[in-house]
Structure 1
Amino acid sequence: MPRPTSRLLDWFGVDDPWERRRPPIGRQDVVLAASVEALSLLALELVRSSGGFSHTDVPAWAQWLAVSSGAVLLLGRRRWPLTVALLAAVHMFVAGVTMPEVMGQLSLQVIYFVALLSGVAWARDRRGMVVVVGMIVLFMFAWITWQFALGSTVQEWLDDEELSEHIGLFPPIPAAIAITLLINVLYFGGAIAGGGVSWRSARARARLEEQAATIAAQSGRLRDQAVVDERLRIARELHDVVAHHVSAMGIQAGAARRVLDRDPDAARTALANVEEASRDAVTQMRRLLGTLREGEQAAPEARTTEAGVGDLPRLVAEVSGDGLAVTLDVVETQQDAATRLPRGVGLAVYRTVQEALTNVRRHSTADTVSVVVRVDEAQPAPYAEVEVVDNGRPRHGTSGSGLGQLGIRERAATHDGQVDIGPRVTGGYRVRVRYPLGAGS
């Protein structure tokens, strides 16, 4: 078990590798010193005007100098904390010997307190701080002890001569020195403890900032990795999209070749289908490749899903149950419009619903979810829209990384989609993505 001394040294940060940054003298220090000096001089003159210095013959200019020089020390309390603490201790001793009435003023006592507290709070050399502050405290209490011993001797002489009158339980002079000792214990102890708390708070803030920076960097790397993974998945989907169209083109071209001589109309129809399929494939390929980073290594081949709007009932059935009711509505302005969606858009709709329902299961208190797919082929702005709305609140302790939503946004970007994700004013959470349809879908 560590000894009390070791625990105390650990508390003050001795041998701690962290060093508190000492800022240069700035506006904050100048304002503090100027304000303290103005208030101190005002208090000094108020005490003088009330007759508080009637028992001292120190000239007024010396009193002003004592107060002003003490306030000036506060300028460097953060830049040179231990030096300022030592100078404040010397100032206290000199002023206490030459003009004790002035030294006892509240304004100067505040200056000494702040100087000692700053020495503990801002010192970078923690061992040096312990030595310097220890010397200051030992010297001050040696001075008080000497005063106590002298006061006891004086009290004995007064008692022998029967010149002292006891009012309370203790002799007056030792009682006065004892109360002075108690006040100084609280005074110096409070300054040292306050400085230690300030230093530890600054260290805790610095560590939290370092941890926040580390977490931010890791989060950035995770987000980048998520983007790479999602785009590689898109690349694999691109393979299937292009392969589908190229196969269709090959079949139609072969049919046109076989009937070219005996049925020119059928050949023209087949060639028109080849043209349409090639245009659709090139358009989708261009949009998908535009989102992929150059130079990324290919991921291992994996099976690309054939899912689309027609697979949503199965997905909804899989997610429903265990306290969660999921409804699905497919709204088609034109009959069978959903079945005519481009393959990439249909897959994007499916993935969006899949991710949204997964997030509801993991991170929400919702018990009902509504999935609505709207398809409108009417010109001039045909579109396909998917909207997933729940009635829950975020479940405590289950905050996600945000990578799923990032994937939704990335996938929507490949089709020029518009994304609206967030809590609703009336309660619950909504994921809505609208994909424009047409030649560029």
Structure 2
Amino acid sequence: MSGGRTVIARVETWAGVDTDWVRRPDDPARTRRVDTWVALAFLVAGSLGVELLRSIDALGPFQDSWVWPHVAVLAGTLPLVWRRRWPLAVAAGLSLHFFVVGLTMPGVVASVPMQVVYFVAIFTGVAWARDRRLMIGVVVAIVLLMFGWLTWQFAVGSGIEEALSHDGRLPERQGLFSPASAYVTYSLLINVFYFGGAIALGQAAWRAALQRDRLAEQARTIDAQATSLQRQAVVEERLRIARELHDVVAHHVSVIGIQAAAARRVLRRDADAAETALRSVETSSREAVTQMRELLGTLRSGEDERPDGTRSPEPRLADVPALVEEVSTAGMRVDCRLVEDSPGAVVAVPDPVGLSLYRTVQEALSNIRRHSTASAATVFVRVDRRPEPGFAHGYAEVEVLDDGRPRSGTSGTGLGLLGVRERLAAHGGVSEIGPRVTGGYRVRVRMPLPEEAS
């Protein structure tokens, strides 16, 4: 029983019973027109074949009948018009036609055009059947009907004697087989190749159509994914520009505020010092406006270029000391310390990682100036190429420490820290952000380095 179930399961798998895909014509109207012309061509060929057989006295009892052989051809070719609309019904109907007409007018069904018609009907039934399980049943019924008819002819009828007799005498044995056994074997082999070929080619056509449909579906899926990725890339680029804009504006505005406060304090005491402070405010303002124009130009054109056409260089990790020097004032002293495992390691950090770490330091220092009472801060920049758990090719890290407490009434929007976390997610880094046990606040961000180019 287990072996029988295995054979049935294999047959069902081969026939495509386990798939929900249904083969349908891409253009039903065009398919109907093509099938109509095919049926008409076979009708003409079949009628011509009947007349040729009549001309050589090969129609048997219907030799003198002009109507019924042509009616039989019409009944055998007309269903081809609907062969792809109702494939199994046409295949079963024409197989029954073959059986009935074969008993009454064997010369008609033996003609080449009608043999091709029956082959096409079985082929189409297998290739276009929508219910694959029903297709197996119909094919099995057709094969049993045909070979049952052959067996009956061989066992009961006089088909062998009529086929082999010459002037009423049976031929003598001349080859390896007797005439009767050779005729039976030859007839069986012809029918095996005939029906087996129609079924195998029909299934191959169905499989090919299934594969084409799946490839087309994959192509549509790939196109949809590509469109989605393009949209996602646009969104990510806008988020990147939004983070850059936030960090630039926050940094320069906080610097301008500190410089303006310093200018106000010295305005009455020292005019030269006040003028120097106001010039610093003017310089910071111009720099802020310039960078914002560059970012807005990027939003419009997608190119990070200056008005003169040259590309604006983005800050790198090696620019952190200059940033620290810029923001260090009499009101808050900021120190910067570089820790490298080898000379030039900070400069060699890839630009995307370096920019993210630079912006992290920029945001952290802006938050200290706006939201903290700190009078001093320290920025550490560390680069280490030695592998560690989670950092197979080393890491680049920035750490910002201050000694202050939160200033009341200065809560922010949280966009700065959100930008830091988005950069971390983009590079697969880790962070430690929050108050220190010994006092003050810590912002520590570590990002993995890629493998060095050989």
TM-score (structure 1 length as normaliser): 0.56
Mark the CA change 1:211 to 1:58 in structure 2 (over 3 Å): closer, same or farther: farther
2:200 match: 193
Q: Following superposition of structure 1 onto structure 2, how do residues 70-219 of structure 1 map, counting pairs within 5 Å? A: 70-150=76-156, 155=161, 163-166=169-172, 168-169=174-175, 170=177, 172=179, 175-218=182-225
Equivalence for 2:390: none
Q: Which has the higher contact order (CA 8 A, sep 6+)?
A: 1
Structure index of larger Rg: 2
Paired residues of 2:127 and 2:203 also in contact (CA < 8 A): yes
Q: Are residue 21 (structure 1) and residue 31 (structure 2) matched?
A: no
**Residues of 2 paired with 1:197 and 1:307: CA distance?**
61
Call closer, same or farther: CA 1:225–1:46 in 2, change over 3 Å: closer
Measure, in 2, the Cα distance between the counterparts of 1:274 and 1:316: 26
- In 2 relative to 1, CA 289–226 (structure 1 residues): closer, same or farther, beyond 3 Å? closer
Q: 1:33 to 1:20 in 2, by over 3 A?
A: same
For the pair 1:236 / 2:238, whether they are aligned, the reply is no
Work out whether 1:307 is the aligned partner of 2:316.
yes
Preserved CA contact (<8 Å) 1:33 1:71: no
- SS of the residue corresponding to residue 79 of structure 1 reads coil
* Distance across 2 between alignment mates of 1:166 and 1:130: 43
Q: 1:245 aligns with which of 237, 252, 258?
A: 252
Partner of 1:11: 14
Q: Post-superposition shift, 1:146?
A: 1.3
Q: Is the 8 A contact 2:122 2:198 kept in 1?
A: yes
Give the root-mean-square deviation of aligned CA atoms. 4.3
Looking at structure 2, the residues matched to 20 and 196 of structure 1 have their Cα atoms a distance apart, in angstroms, of: 13
Separation in structure 2 between the aligned mates of residue 75 and residue 93 of structure 1, nearest angstrom: 21
2 CA distance for matches of 1:273 and 1:10? 77
Q: Distance in 2 between matches of 1:113 and 1:149?
A: 26
TM-superposed CA distance for 1:136, in Å, is 1.4
Q: Distance in 1 between matches of 2:161 and 2:288?
A: 113
Q: 1:139 to 1:54 in 2, by over 3 A?
A: same
Q: 1:42 to 1:7 in 2, by over 3 A?
A: closer
Q: Match of 1:391?
A: none
- Identity over aligned pairs, percent: 42
| 3-state SS of 1:54 partner | coil
1:55 maps to which of 43, 53, 58? 58
CA distance in 1, matches of 2:221, 2:279: 61
Confirm or deny: 8 A CA contact 1:95 1:103 kept in the other structure. Answer: yes
Cα 1:154/1:94, change in 2 over 3 Å = closer
Separation in structure 1 between the aligned mates of residue 159 and residue 114 of structure 2, nearest angstrom? 30
- Structure 1 unpaired stretches of 5+: 293-304, 320-342, 345-406, 408-441
Letter of the 2:100 partner, please give it.
V
Note if contact 2:126-2:199 (Cα within 8 Å) is conserved in structure 1. yes
Aligned length: 306
Paired residue secondary structure (1:26): helix
The 3-state SS of whatever aligns with 1:166 is coil
Amino acid at match of 2:20: W
Distance 1:26 1:104, change over 3 A: farther
Call closer, same or farther: CA 1:256–1:40 in 2, change over 3 Å: same
Question: Which residue matches 1:283?
Answer: 293
Amino acid at match of 1:104: A
Change (3 A) 1:316 1:176: farther
**Stretch of structure 1 that moved more, 233-242 or 50-59:** 50-59
Please list the CA deviations of residues 223-273 of structure 1 after superposition, one character each: whole Å capped at 9, or x if unmatched. 544444444333332233213332443355456544589469768755653
Deviation at 1:141, TM superposition (A): 0.9
* 1:269–1:154 distance in 2 versus 1, CA, 3 Å: closer
In 1, are the aligned partners of 2:123 and 2:199 still within 8 Å (CA)?
yes
> How far apart are the structure 2 equivalents of 1:207 and 1:255?
71
CA spacing shift, 1:58–1:66, aligned 2, 3 Å: farther
Partners of 1:259 and 1:266 within 8 A in 2: no
Provide the C-alpha distance between the structure 2 equivalents of 1:277 and 1:165, rounded to a whole number of angstroms.
112
The aligned counterpart of 1:370 is none
* Structure 1 Cα separation of the partners of residues 254 and 349 of structure 2: 33
**Deviation of 1:207 (Å):** 3.9
1:237 partner letter? E
Paired residue secondary structure (2:170): coil
Instruction: Give, as a single letter, the amino acid of the residue that structure 2 aligns with 1:307.
Output: R
